[in-house]
Amino acid sequence: MLIRRLMQAFFLVLGAALGYHFFPLLFAALDPWLATGRVSYPKYIGAGIGAFLFLAAVVWTSDAVERAFKRAEERLVRLHVSDLLFGTLGMIVGLIVAFLLFLPLKQIPIAGEFIPIFLSLLLAYLGFTVGYKKKDELIQFFSLSRLKERSEKAERSGERAERADKKVGEPKLLDTSVIIDGRIADVVETGFIEGTLIVPEFVLEELQHIADSSDMLKRNRGRRGLDILKRMQKSKHVKVVILDRDVDDVHEVDTKLIKLAKEIGAKIVTNDFNLNKVCELQGIPVLNVNDLANALKPIVLPGEELVVHVIKDGKEYGQGVAYLDDGTMIVVEGGKEFIGEHIGVLVTSVLQTSAGRMVFAKPKLLEKAL
Protein backbone atom coordinates (compact mmCIF):
# COMPACT_ATOMS: atom_id res chain seq x y z
CA MET A 1 0.00 0.00 0.00
CA LEU A 2 2.86 2.37 0.82
CA ILE A 3 4.43 1.74 -2.56
CA ARG A 4 1.16 2.55 -4.30
CA ARG A 5 0.80 5.83 -2.38
CA LEU A 6 4.38 6.84 -3.16
CA MET A 7 3.91 6.01 -6.82
CA GLN A 8 0.69 8.03 -7.01
CA ALA A 9 2.33 11.01 -5.29
CA PHE A 10 5.32 10.86 -7.65
CA PHE A 11 3.21 10.80 -10.81
CA LEU A 12 0.94 13.50 -9.41
CA VAL A 13 3.92 15.83 -8.99
CA LEU A 14 5.38 14.74 -12.35
CA GLY A 15 2.06 15.40 -14.15
CA ALA A 16 1.72 18.82 -12.51
CA ALA A 17 5.27 19.79 -13.52
CA LEU A 18 4.83 18.68 -17.12
CA GLY A 19 1.41 20.32 -17.35
CA TYR A 20 2.78 23.58 -15.92
CA HIS A 21 5.52 23.61 -18.56
CA PHE A 22 3.79 22.33 -21.72
CA PHE A 23 0.09 23.20 -21.47
CA PRO A 24 0.65 27.00 -21.72
CA LEU A 25 2.36 26.36 -25.05
CA LEU A 26 -0.68 24.42 -26.18
CA PHE A 27 -3.05 27.15 -24.97
CA ALA A 28 -0.96 29.78 -26.73
CA ALA A 29 -1.17 27.86 -29.98
CA LEU A 30 -4.95 27.60 -29.67
CA ASP A 31 -5.58 31.18 -28.53
CA PRO A 32 -3.17 33.93 -29.77
CA TRP A 33 -4.44 36.25 -26.99
CA LEU A 34 -2.68 34.03 -24.46
CA ALA A 35 0.59 34.22 -26.41
CA THR A 36 0.99 37.90 -25.40
CA GLY A 37 1.68 36.81 -21.85
CA ARG A 38 -1.00 39.05 -20.39
CA VAL A 39 -2.76 36.10 -18.77
CA SER A 40 -0.75 33.71 -16.57
CA TYR A 41 -3.50 31.40 -15.30
CA PRO A 42 -3.03 28.78 -18.12
CA LYS A 43 0.13 27.63 -16.32
CA TYR A 44 -1.81 26.68 -13.21
CA ILE A 45 -4.64 25.24 -15.25
CA GLY A 46 -2.10 23.18 -17.20
CA ALA A 47 -0.53 21.98 -13.94
CA GLY A 48 -3.92 20.90 -12.67
CA ILE A 49 -4.84 19.13 -15.91
CA GLY A 50 -1.44 17.38 -16.04
CA ALA A 51 -1.70 16.27 -12.40
CA PHE A 52 -5.25 14.98 -13.00
CA LEU A 53 -4.32 13.05 -16.16
CA PHE A 54 -1.22 11.44 -14.64
CA LEU A 55 -3.06 10.60 -11.43
CA ALA A 56 -5.90 9.00 -13.39
CA ALA A 57 -3.43 7.00 -15.46
CA VAL A 58 -1.49 5.76 -12.45
CA VAL A 59 -4.67 4.83 -10.56
CA TRP A 60 -5.88 2.89 -13.61
CA THR A 61 -2.58 1.04 -14.01
CA SER A 62 -1.50 0.89 -10.36
CA ASP A 63 -2.61 -2.72 -9.82
CA ALA A 64 -0.60 -3.98 -12.78
CA VAL A 65 2.42 -1.84 -11.87
CA GLU A 66 2.26 -2.99 -8.24
CA ARG A 67 2.10 -6.65 -9.30
CA ALA A 68 5.07 -6.15 -11.61
CA PHE A 69 6.98 -4.42 -8.82
CA LYS A 70 6.27 -7.25 -6.38
CA ARG A 71 7.38 -9.87 -8.93
CA ALA A 72 10.63 -7.98 -9.44
CA GLU A 73 11.09 -7.69 -5.68
CA GLU A 74 10.55 -11.43 -5.20
CA ARG A 75 13.08 -12.26 -7.92
CA LEU A 76 15.67 -9.96 -6.37
CA VAL A 77 15.12 -11.47 -2.92
CA ARG A 78 15.62 -14.99 -4.32
CA LEU A 79 18.92 -14.01 -5.95
CA HIS A 80 22.10 -15.07 -4.20
CA VAL A 81 24.01 -12.19 -2.69
CA SER A 82 26.97 -12.80 -5.05
CA ASP A 83 24.64 -12.70 -8.09
CA LEU A 84 23.12 -9.44 -6.83
CA LEU A 85 26.56 -7.96 -6.14
CA PHE A 86 27.97 -8.73 -9.59
CA GLY A 87 24.74 -7.59 -11.25
CA THR A 88 24.88 -4.28 -9.38
CA LEU A 89 28.53 -3.79 -10.34
CA GLY A 90 27.64 -4.44 -13.97
CA MET A 91 24.78 -1.92 -13.75
CA ILE A 92 27.14 0.71 -12.31
CA VAL A 93 29.56 0.15 -15.20
CA GLY A 94 26.68 0.53 -17.66
CA LEU A 95 25.59 3.81 -16.07
CA ILE A 96 29.17 5.12 -16.17
CA VAL A 97 29.33 4.38 -19.90
CA ALA A 98 25.95 6.12 -20.38
CA PHE A 99 27.24 9.16 -18.48
CA LEU A 100 30.30 9.38 -20.75
CA LEU A 101 28.02 9.34 -23.79
CA PHE A 102 25.62 11.91 -22.33
CA LEU A 103 27.39 15.09 -23.52
CA PRO A 104 27.90 14.00 -27.16
CA LEU A 105 24.31 12.76 -27.44
CA LYS A 106 22.98 15.94 -25.82
CA GLN A 107 24.06 17.89 -28.91
CA ILE A 108 21.59 16.03 -31.16
CA PRO A 109 18.59 18.30 -31.92
CA ILE A 110 15.26 17.30 -30.33
CA ALA A 111 16.21 13.60 -29.91
CA GLY A 112 19.08 14.66 -27.66
CA GLU A 113 16.56 15.27 -24.89
CA PHE A 114 15.35 11.67 -24.87
CA ILE A 115 18.20 9.47 -26.17
CA PRO A 116 20.41 9.84 -23.02
CA ILE A 117 17.53 8.70 -20.79
CA PHE A 118 16.77 5.70 -22.98
CA LEU A 119 20.47 4.84 -23.29
CA SER A 120 20.96 5.03 -19.52
CA LEU A 121 18.09 2.61 -18.91
CA LEU A 122 19.31 0.27 -21.65
CA LEU A 123 22.96 0.18 -20.52
CA ALA A 124 21.94 -0.20 -16.86
CA TYR A 125 19.83 -3.24 -17.79
CA LEU A 126 22.55 -4.73 -20.01
CA GLY A 127 25.19 -4.13 -17.34
CA PHE A 128 23.13 -5.89 -14.67
CA THR A 129 22.37 -8.83 -17.00
CA VAL A 130 26.01 -9.29 -18.07
CA GLY A 131 27.31 -9.01 -14.50
CA TYR A 132 24.72 -11.52 -13.26
CA LYS A 133 25.21 -14.10 -16.02
CA LYS A 134 29.01 -13.84 -16.24
CA LYS A 135 29.59 -14.01 -12.47
CA ASP A 136 31.25 -17.45 -12.53
CA GLU A 137 33.53 -16.57 -15.44
CA LEU A 138 34.59 -13.32 -13.73
CA ILE A 139 35.37 -15.15 -10.48
CA GLN A 140 37.36 -17.83 -12.33
CA PHE A 141 39.21 -15.22 -14.39
CA PHE A 142 40.35 -13.23 -11.37
CA SER A 143 41.13 -16.41 -9.40
CA LEU A 144 43.33 -17.80 -12.18
CA SER A 145 45.01 -14.43 -12.66
CA ARG A 146 45.84 -14.22 -8.96
CA LEU A 147 47.12 -17.79 -8.90
CA LYS A 148 49.36 -17.22 -11.91
CA GLU A 149 50.62 -13.89 -10.59
CA ARG A 150 51.47 -15.37 -7.20
CA SER A 151 53.17 -18.35 -8.81
CA GLU A 152 55.37 -16.16 -11.02
CA LYS A 153 56.20 -13.86 -8.13
CA ALA A 154 57.19 -16.80 -5.93
CA GLU A 155 59.45 -18.20 -8.64
CA ARG A 156 61.16 -14.86 -9.19
CA SER A 157 61.83 -14.35 -5.51
CA GLY A 158 62.79 -17.96 -4.85
CA GLU A 159 60.07 -18.44 -2.24
CA ARG A 160 59.23 -22.00 -3.27
CA ALA A 161 58.91 -23.24 0.29
CA GLU A 162 56.55 -20.43 1.23
CA ARG A 163 54.47 -21.09 -1.87
CA ALA A 164 54.14 -24.76 -0.90
CA ASP A 165 53.08 -23.83 2.62
CA LYS A 166 50.38 -21.54 1.29
CA LYS A 167 49.23 -24.20 -1.19
CA VAL A 168 49.52 -21.76 -4.07
CA GLY A 169 50.83 -23.68 -7.09
CA GLU A 170 50.34 -23.65 -10.79
CA PRO A 171 46.79 -24.58 -11.80
CA LYS A 172 46.43 -28.15 -13.03
CA LEU A 173 44.09 -29.27 -15.80
CA LEU A 174 42.53 -32.72 -15.41
CA ASP A 175 41.83 -34.78 -18.52
CA THR A 176 39.05 -37.35 -18.86
CA SER A 177 41.25 -40.44 -18.54
CA VAL A 178 42.81 -39.46 -15.21
CA ILE A 179 39.39 -38.66 -13.72
CA ILE A 180 37.92 -42.01 -14.78
CA ASP A 181 41.07 -43.83 -13.59
CA GLY A 182 40.32 -42.62 -10.05
CA ARG A 183 43.80 -42.84 -8.57
CA ILE A 184 44.11 -39.05 -8.68
CA ALA A 185 41.57 -38.83 -5.84
CA ASP A 186 43.76 -41.04 -3.64
CA VAL A 187 46.83 -38.95 -4.49
CA VAL A 188 44.90 -35.79 -3.58
CA GLU A 189 43.84 -37.27 -0.23
CA THR A 190 47.48 -37.96 0.67
CA GLY A 191 48.30 -34.26 0.16
CA PHE A 192 50.90 -34.82 -2.58
CA ILE A 193 48.90 -32.58 -4.95
CA GLU A 194 47.85 -29.15 -3.75
CA GLY A 195 46.49 -25.94 -5.22
CA THR A 196 43.75 -25.69 -7.83
CA LEU A 197 42.54 -28.56 -10.01
CA ILE A 198 40.68 -27.28 -13.08
CA VAL A 199 38.11 -29.36 -14.93
CA PRO A 200 37.19 -27.63 -18.22
CA GLU A 201 33.54 -27.67 -19.23
CA PHE A 202 34.32 -29.74 -22.35
CA VAL A 203 35.93 -32.48 -20.21
CA LEU A 204 32.85 -32.54 -17.97
CA GLU A 205 30.65 -32.81 -21.07
CA GLU A 206 32.71 -35.77 -22.33
CA LEU A 207 32.34 -37.46 -18.94
CA GLN A 208 28.58 -36.91 -19.06
CA HIS A 209 28.46 -38.28 -22.61
CA ILE A 210 30.31 -41.42 -21.48
CA ALA A 211 28.00 -41.77 -18.46
CA ASP A 212 24.97 -41.63 -20.80
CA SER A 213 26.39 -44.26 -23.16
CA SER A 214 24.28 -47.29 -24.09
CA ASP A 215 27.34 -49.49 -23.47
CA MET A 216 27.24 -50.64 -19.85
CA LEU A 217 31.04 -50.63 -19.42
CA LYS A 218 31.37 -47.07 -20.73
CA ARG A 219 28.39 -45.94 -18.68
CA ASN A 220 29.95 -47.30 -15.49
CA ARG A 221 33.28 -45.64 -16.30
CA GLY A 222 31.59 -42.28 -16.87
CA ARG A 223 29.62 -42.49 -13.64
CA ARG A 224 32.77 -43.47 -11.78
CA GLY A 225 34.48 -40.36 -13.16
CA LEU A 226 31.64 -38.11 -11.95
CA ASP A 227 31.81 -39.73 -8.50
CA ILE A 228 35.58 -39.15 -8.38
CA LEU A 229 35.06 -35.45 -9.18
CA LYS A 230 32.47 -35.12 -6.44
CA ARG A 231 34.85 -36.79 -4.00
CA MET A 232 37.71 -34.43 -4.86
CA GLN A 233 35.44 -31.38 -4.47
CA LYS A 234 35.07 -32.32 -0.81
CA SER A 235 38.84 -32.60 -0.26
CA LYS A 236 40.52 -30.05 2.00
CA HIS A 237 43.83 -30.32 0.14
CA VAL A 238 42.77 -28.94 -3.25
CA LYS A 239 40.17 -26.65 -4.79
CA VAL A 240 38.31 -28.13 -7.77
CA VAL A 241 37.13 -25.50 -10.28
CA ILE A 242 34.79 -26.20 -13.21
CA LEU A 243 36.03 -23.82 -15.90
CA ASP A 244 33.26 -22.67 -18.25
CA ARG A 245 35.56 -21.95 -21.15
CA ASP A 246 35.88 -23.52 -24.59
CA VAL A 247 38.51 -23.44 -27.33
CA ASP A 248 37.18 -22.23 -30.67
CA ASP A 249 37.66 -24.15 -33.92
CA VAL A 250 38.87 -27.29 -32.11
CA HIS A 251 36.86 -30.48 -31.66
CA GLU A 252 39.31 -32.95 -30.09
CA VAL A 253 39.28 -32.81 -26.28
CA ASP A 254 43.04 -33.47 -25.98
CA THR A 255 43.83 -30.63 -28.41
CA LYS A 256 41.55 -28.30 -26.45
CA LEU A 257 43.36 -29.23 -23.23
CA ILE A 258 46.75 -28.46 -24.76
CA LYS A 259 45.65 -25.05 -26.08
CA LEU A 260 43.93 -24.15 -22.83
CA ALA A 261 47.02 -25.15 -20.82
CA LYS A 262 49.11 -22.78 -22.96
CA GLU A 263 46.63 -19.91 -22.51
CA ILE A 264 46.39 -20.06 -18.71
CA GLY A 265 49.88 -21.45 -17.98
CA ALA A 266 48.64 -24.68 -16.39
CA LYS A 267 49.99 -28.20 -16.06
CA ILE A 268 48.08 -31.20 -17.41
CA VAL A 269 47.34 -34.16 -15.16
CA THR A 270 46.80 -37.35 -17.18
CA ASN A 271 47.57 -41.04 -17.53
CA ASP A 272 47.19 -41.00 -21.33
CA PHE A 273 50.51 -42.07 -22.89
CA ASN A 274 49.92 -40.33 -26.22
CA LEU A 275 48.75 -37.05 -24.63
CA ASN A 276 51.84 -37.19 -22.40
CA LYS A 277 54.11 -37.40 -25.45
CA VAL A 278 52.36 -34.57 -27.32
CA CYS A 279 52.63 -32.31 -24.26
CA GLU A 280 56.34 -33.07 -23.94
CA LEU A 281 56.86 -32.14 -27.62
CA GLN A 282 55.05 -28.80 -27.09
CA GLY A 283 56.81 -28.01 -23.81
CA ILE A 284 53.74 -28.29 -21.58
CA PRO A 285 54.41 -29.59 -18.04
CA VAL A 286 52.67 -32.93 -17.41
CA LEU A 287 51.88 -34.82 -14.22
CA ASN A 288 51.43 -38.44 -15.28
CA VAL A 289 49.75 -40.62 -12.66
CA ASN A 290 51.33 -43.72 -14.21
CA ASP A 291 54.79 -42.20 -13.74
CA LEU A 292 53.96 -41.58 -10.08
CA ALA A 293 52.66 -45.11 -9.62
CA ASN A 294 55.74 -46.59 -11.30
CA ALA A 295 58.03 -44.47 -9.16
CA LEU A 296 56.41 -45.89 -6.02
CA LYS A 297 56.74 -49.52 -7.12
CA PRO A 298 59.48 -51.61 -5.48
CA ILE A 299 62.70 -51.47 -7.46
CA VAL A 300 63.60 -54.70 -9.24
CA LEU A 301 67.21 -54.95 -10.44
CA PRO A 302 68.78 -57.27 -13.01
CA GLY A 303 70.22 -60.31 -11.24
CA GLU A 304 67.57 -60.27 -8.49
CA GLU A 305 65.75 -63.50 -7.72
CA LEU A 306 61.96 -63.64 -7.47
CA VAL A 307 59.27 -66.25 -6.95
CA VAL A 308 56.36 -65.72 -9.37
CA HIS A 309 53.17 -67.43 -10.47
CA VAL A 310 53.11 -67.94 -14.25
CA ILE A 311 49.48 -67.51 -15.35
CA LYS A 312 49.50 -67.36 -19.16
CA ASP A 313 51.69 -67.52 -22.24
CA GLY A 314 53.35 -64.47 -23.74
CA LYS A 315 53.38 -62.93 -27.23
CA GLU A 316 56.63 -64.56 -28.28
CA TYR A 317 57.15 -68.31 -28.63
CA GLY A 318 57.79 -70.07 -25.33
CA GLN A 319 57.23 -67.02 -23.15
CA GLY A 320 55.19 -67.05 -19.95
CA VAL A 321 53.64 -64.08 -18.19
CA ALA A 322 53.45 -63.44 -14.43
CA TYR A 323 52.57 -60.43 -12.30
CA LEU A 324 53.94 -58.96 -9.10
CA ASP A 325 51.60 -57.89 -6.29
CA ASP A 326 51.72 -54.26 -7.50
CA GLY A 327 50.64 -55.27 -11.01
CA THR A 328 54.06 -55.18 -12.69
CA MET A 329 54.16 -57.63 -15.60
CA ILE A 330 57.00 -60.13 -15.73
CA VAL A 331 57.83 -61.81 -19.02
CA VAL A 332 59.48 -65.15 -18.34
CA GLU A 333 61.58 -66.52 -21.19
CA GLY A 334 60.80 -70.21 -21.61
CA GLY A 335 58.08 -69.93 -18.99
CA LYS A 336 55.22 -71.30 -21.08
CA GLU A 337 55.78 -74.84 -19.81
CA PHE A 338 55.44 -73.59 -16.21
CA ILE A 339 51.95 -72.02 -16.63
CA GLY A 340 49.96 -72.51 -13.42
CA GLU A 341 53.07 -73.06 -11.30
CA HIS A 342 55.08 -70.99 -8.82
CA ILE A 343 58.71 -70.90 -9.90
CA GLY A 344 61.85 -69.01 -9.05
CA VAL A 345 63.09 -66.61 -11.73
CA LEU A 346 66.16 -64.48 -12.26
CA VAL A 347 65.62 -60.89 -13.48
CA THR A 348 67.54 -60.18 -16.68
CA SER A 349 66.35 -56.65 -17.58
CA VAL A 350 63.80 -53.96 -16.69
CA LEU A 351 62.00 -51.71 -19.19
CA GLN A 352 60.50 -48.47 -17.77
CA THR A 353 58.06 -46.33 -19.77
CA SER A 354 55.19 -43.94 -19.05
CA ALA A 355 52.84 -46.76 -19.97
CA GLY A 356 54.23 -48.93 -17.19
CA ARG A 357 57.12 -51.15 -16.16
CA MET A 358 58.00 -54.51 -17.71
CA VAL A 359 60.41 -56.99 -16.15
CA PHE A 360 62.11 -59.69 -18.19
CA ALA A 361 63.34 -62.82 -16.43
CA LYS A 362 64.21 -66.46 -16.98
CA PRO A 363 63.57 -69.49 -14.81
CA LYS A 364 66.27 -70.34 -12.29
CA LEU A 365 65.96 -73.97 -13.29
CA LEU A 366 67.28 -73.09 -16.75
CA GLU A 367 70.07 -71.03 -15.18
CA LYS A 368 71.18 -74.01 -13.11
CA ALA A 369 71.00 -76.28 -16.12
CA LEU A 370 73.37 -73.96 -17.99
Could you tell me the pLDDT band of residue 4, with boundaries at 50, 70 and 90? low
3-state DSSP assignment of residue 139: helix
Distance CA 124, CA 96 (A): 9
CATH code at 173-294: 3.40.50.1010
pLDDT for residue 159 is more than 60:
no
Distance CA 183, CA 181 (A): 6
Domain with CATH 3.40.50.1010 in the chain: 173-294
Domain with CATH 2.40.50.140 in the chain: 298-369
Q: What is the pLDDT of residue 6?
A: 67
* Low-confidence winner among 99-108, 181-190, 326-335 (lowest mean pLDDT): 99-108
Q: What is the pLDDT of residue 289?
A: 87
Could you tell me the pLDDT band of residue 269, with boundaries at 50, 70 and 90? very high
Mean pLDDT computed over 70-94: 76
- More confident of the two residues 113 and 72: 72
Could you tell me the pLDDT band of residue 223, with boundaries at 50, 70 and 90? very high
CATH code at 298-369: 2.40.50.140
pTM: 0.46
Mean pLDDT computed over 267-282: 89
- More confident of the two residues 184 and 21: 184
26-47 residue pLDDT tens: 656 555 555 454 445 556 676 7
- Find the helix or strand (DSSP H, E) in which 356 lies: strand 356-363
Could you tell me the pLDDT band of residue 165, with boundaries at 50, 70 and 90? very low
